[in-house]
A and B are shown apart, each in its own frame.
Chain A
Amino acid sequence: MSGYWPWWVGAPALATVTFGYWRTVGRTLGASTAWDRVLHWREERAVEQLDAAFDDAGFEAALSAATAEAFGSATVAVATRAVAPSGIEAAPDAPAAAAAPATDADAAPAPAPPVPVAAHAALLASIFVGGLIAAVVSGRFEVRLDMGPDFASLVAGGWRMWPTLFLGGVLAGFGTRLAGGCSSGHGLSGCSRLQPASLVATAAFFGTAVAVSFLLWDVL
Chain B
Amino acid sequence: MKAPGRRILAGNIAFGLLFGFAIANIGFGDFGELNRMFTFGDLRMLGAFGGGVARAAAAFAVVGRPPPRARLHAGLVPGAMLFGTGWAISGGCPAIPIVQVASGAVPGVATIAGVVVGMAACRRANERWFHLDRGSCGL
Q: How many A-B residue pairs have CB under 8 A?
A: 517
Interface size grouping (class) on chain A: 35 or more
Candidates B22, B84, B98, B137; contact of A209 at CB < 8 Å: B84
Q: Which of A148-199 contact B (CB under 8 A)?
A: 148-151, 154-155, 161-198
Interface size on B, residues (CB 8 A): 114
Judging by beta carbons under 8 Å apart, are A126 and B114 in contact? no
Which chain B residue lies CB-closest to A116?
A: B5
Instruction: Give every chain A residue within 8 A of B70 (Cβ-Cβ).
Output: 180-181, 186, 190, 195, 197-198, 201
Instruction: Give every chain B residue within 8 A of A30 (Cβ-Cβ).
Output: 136-139
Judging by beta carbons under 8 Å apart, are A174 and B104 in contact? no
Q: In whole angstroms, what is the CA distance A19 to B75 when docked?
A: 27
Answer whether A131 and B35 are a contact pair too, CB < 8 Å, given A169-B114, A201-B77, A209-B88.
no
Instruction: Give every chain A residue within 8 A of B107 (Cβ-Cβ).
Output: 145-147, 161-162, 165
Listed by A's residue number, 16 A-B pairs whose Cβ atoms lie within 8 Å are: A2-B30, A4-B30, A22-B60, A24-B7, A25-B12, A113-B8, A135-B104, A144-B105, A162-B110, A163-B110, A165-B108, A168-B114, A169-B111, A192-B59, A200-B72, A205-B83
